[in-house]
Amino acid sequence: MLQIDLTFAVVFILVWILVLVLTKVFFKPYLKIREKRKKILEENEQAYKQAIKEYEDHLHRIETSLKEARQESQVIREKIVSEALTEKARLVSEIQTEVRGQVEAARKELQGQVEKLKSELDQKVEDLAKELEEKLLH
């Protein structure tokens, strides 16, 4: 059978002292370091996820701003085109009115000249008729 003597008790106490010393000197610092590393990795992962989320939010805001800017520019462009077409129509109308006025003035002037020339022609015809009549009668 097994005999328990003093050496067994000394070895038992030394093993427990070794376990306590190793726990205090080696295992606890090692476990603390592992825990710190785990915590740092978790914090880094959280920071990474947060940074990605902020990046995506920022990207979304930029895309939204670009979309709004494009829509605004399209509205402004359409407004400018519309104003240009309106201005073009106004200018064409003004020019047409002015041209009609000039044509009418030219028509009246030509009509006056035609009347003047007709009256001159009538006068010349009358003068020629009198002259011819005088030549024939003499």
Residue 54 has pLDDT above 70, yes or no: yes
pLDDT at 6: 84
Confidence check: pLDDT of 1 > 60: no
According to the model, what pLDDT value does residue 134 have?
83
- Residue 2: per-residue pLDDT: 60
pLDDT of residue 92: 95
Q: What's the Cα-to-Cα distance from 117 to each of 109, 111, 120, 122, rounded to whole Å?
A: 12, 10, 5, 8
The beta-carbon contacts of 26-29 under 8 Å, at least 24 apart in sequence, are none
pTM, to two decimals? 0.49
Q: What is the mean pLDDT of the chain?
A: 92
* Contacts by 52-56, CB closer than 8 A, 24 or more apart: none
- Gyration radius of the chain over CA positions: 57
